[in-house]
Amino acid sequence: MSLTGRLSTAIGLFLVAVALIAWSLLAFLHPGTDGGYTDYTVGHTAGAPINVTLQTVGSIGSGFGEHTTWVSYLQKDPTTGQWLHDTSMILPANTVVNVTIDQYDSGSPLRNQQWGQVTGTIGGTATLNGKSFKVYNSYAGNGVGHTFAVPGLDVSVPLVGVNGNLTNICSQAPCGSLPHNVLTFSFKTGAPGSYNWQCFVPCGLGYLYGNGGPMSTLNYMGGFLKVVA
């Protein structure tokens, strides 16, 4: 790799680290509209996998607090099936977690192509609408809208966007049968501890470099995994 390439990579990794630290601090200082942890350990049989279902929306709408135009994640309650504006979870340690994400937001080319790679999942892959992939070219198709990334577990999955030219993109969460991509992947929790997860694609429209607003507010584009013994 050339000196310029190495320098660009180093700068990119430094900016990611700064964004991660800033998000973690701001999440504590500026919590979201809802709070708490969704507990997946209740009734869990040791050794059995955990199933987590999320959705990403380009505009959360009026049903989940004051920031109606913000992009956001939602989490499905594993017991009631209700969609929650809650991005934090309690998970058992050393357990396989099967994740399904319904991605309703549009995408664009990535600023850092590293975010287009799947890392840390079981098998090193994810599926997009049933088709397995290891890396997604964000300059092809509809680009990437978000990532689901858990830095402490080296997990990162790009969430491919829907066609931004569609006239029926969901603008009021929770979304239902409107156009979306379904992404699935599995990873294994580590030792007990607290792991933050977040989207690394700057999607805070109207904020400096896209990193403010929902990007730095808990229960929007990131949360925490509380892994317990």
The model's pLDDT over 28-76, given as tens digits with 9 standing for 90+, comes to 433 433 458 999 999 999 999 999 999 999 999 998 888 999 999 999 9
Nearest to 123 by CA among 47, 197, 187, 48: 187
Domain containing residue 151: 3-228
Low-confidence ranges of the chain (pLDDT < 50): 9, 13, 16-17, 20-34
What pLDDT is recorded for position 33?
39
What is the total count of domains within the chain?
A: 1
The CATH code of the domain that includes 184 is 2.60.40.420
What pLDDT is recorded for position 35?
52
What pLDDT is recorded for position 26?
43
What pLDDT is recorded for position 4?
59
pTM recorded for the entire structure = 0.84
Nearest to 172 by CA among 72, 60, 67: 60
Strands 193-198 and 222-228: antiparallel
Q: How far apart are alpha carbons 66 and 68 in whole angstroms?
A: 6
